[in-house]
Amino acid sequence: MFAEDEAELLRRHAAGADELADLCARRIAGEPLEHLLGWVQFGNLRLSVGFGVFVPRQRSLLLAQEAIDAATGRPGAVVLEAFCGVAPIASAVAATVDGVQVHAADIAADALVHARRNLPDDAQIHHGTGFDAVPESLAGRVDVIAAVPPYVPDHAFGLLAPEARDHEPRRALTGGVDGLDHVDTLVDAAQTWLSDTGTLLIEMNVAQFDAVAAGDGRRAFDIDAVAGDDGQTVVARFRRWLPGRGVRFRERPAAG
């Protein structure tokens, strides 16, 4: 977005000249535009965000579409956005697919305040680490798990834009030495929570996909990647591998 466009949004948001001057000064000093406005446009949704929470990225529209596609045509599908933040993916699915049961989980209570505003009243929000707060009754019943886990390698934190580095929680951004700590958590958890015909969808960087697909425990899944237009983002799709199902995302390597 050009500076002129940002200025116009701040002008419309400010109650008067003093507030506008304050907002402009803070934006110039590096505060994210979305924190100042209190919202982010995500596809056709205007999502609530606020200070100190991760702002959904436009690249995650790819994951949102994959989650919508995976839930469509499955009446009563159970959809869980793990590592949900303000719950952009769950909100997009709830707004697009009729009759889904939507759940969202995150460790950050302040982000979940916004998730509550963004999601329909019947969506369930779970506050906890990883899948700890997800009700046991969902074990083996989740049809779509979608996640944007923190996936920046620790060493790359300093390369992030100041808006992220200085104004979003570090635990929302970095995911260990290779950025894949939480991806491994998700793949492990999918074995417990996914239904037999369910799909796990994880956003990551294209450079991480091969390592993810080759990791421990992956032979339980058919895995493929959906590439974004930016040349950087991919959504890794995992489906339980069931002998004889016949439909595969890709050929599995020979055993041994």
- Give me the residues that bind ligand SAM (CB under 6 A), please: 54, 56, 60, 83-86, 88, 106-108, 111, 129-130, 148-150, 171-172
Structure tokens at 247: 């439909």
**Shortest reach from residue 86's CB to ligand SAM, in Å:** 6
**Shortest reach from residue 21's CB to ligand SAM, in Å:** 30
Residues whose CB is less than 8 angstroms from the CB of residue 132 and which lie 6 or more positions away in sequence, other chains included: none
**Shortest reach from residue 40's CB to ligand SAM, in Å:** 9
Cβ atoms < 10 Å from Cβ of 165: 14
Taking the least distance from each CB to ligand SAM, the nearer of 48 and 195 is: 48
Assess contact for 116 and 106: CB atoms under 8 A.
no
DSSP-assigned beta bridge partners for residue 196: none
Taking the least distance from each CB to ligand SAM, the nearer of 89 and 222 is: 89
Taking the least distance from each CB to ligand SAM, the nearer of 83 and 238 is: 83
At 74, is the secondary structure helix, strand, or coil? coil
Backbone angles phi, psi at 26, to 5 degrees: -70, -40
Which residue has the closest beta carbon to ligand SAM? 85
Taking the least distance from each CB to ligand SAM, the nearer of 86 and 222 is: 86
Backbone angles phi, psi at 176, to 5 degrees: 95, -175
**Shortest reach from residue 254's CB to ligand SAM, in Å:** 36
Structure tokens at 146: 């979608």
**Shortest reach from residue 23's CB to ligand SAM, in Å:** 23
